[in-house]
Amino acid sequence: MARSKEPIWWSMFSAGGVIAAFLIPATLLITGFAPLAGYITAEQLHDLIDRSWLVKIYLFILIALPLFHWAHRFRFTVADLGLRGGAALQAILFYGAAIVGTICAAVILIRA
């Protein structure tokens, strides 16, 4: 029997959960509510990302790990909501989407 890959996905889920819990609320305020309230313009936010490697690394972490957090938890949510068929296909789809998203983020941020 193949050894379970579950611990890997669980640790990615867990790491993403920590990152999301600590960083997403404040970042959401910066990208969503600050522009709405006029504290920051789209141009300022654009330049902030464009000219800083630190911000790019920050965004990479904030894209990659939460995607794996979503993939793992969403698998169980879908099953809990009653869709139990095609579990293997679902796993490939959700984890695959997280992997593709991570690669896209890396390529985009390295080129930008």
Partner 1 sequence: MPRHQPATPAKQHIRPMPVGWWLKRTSYFLFMMRELTCVFVGGYALFLLMLVARIGEPDAFAALLEHPGSLVFHVLALPFVLYHTITWFNVTPKALVIYRGEEKVNPVIIAGANYVGWIVVSVALIWIAWIAIGSA
Interface residue list for partner 1 (CB under 8 A): 14, 16-18, 20-36, 40, 42-50, 52, 56, 59, 62-64, 66-67, 69-71, 73-74, 76-77, 80-82, 84, 101, 104-105, 108-109, 112
CA–CA distance, 79 with 30 (Å, rounded to integer): 34
Chain position carrying tokens 């796993």: 91
Based on the number of CB atoms within 10 Å of its own CB, is 26 exposed (0-12), middle (13-18) or buried (19 or more)?
Answer: exposed
Least distance between partner 1 and beta carbon 89 (Å): 18
Least distance between partner 1 and beta carbon 5 (Å): 19
Least distance between partner 1 and beta carbon 9 (Å): 13
Choice between 18 and 92, CB closer to partner 1: 18
Based on the number of CB atoms within 10 Å of its own CB, is 77 exposed (0-12), middle (13-18) or buried (19 or more)?
Answer: exposed
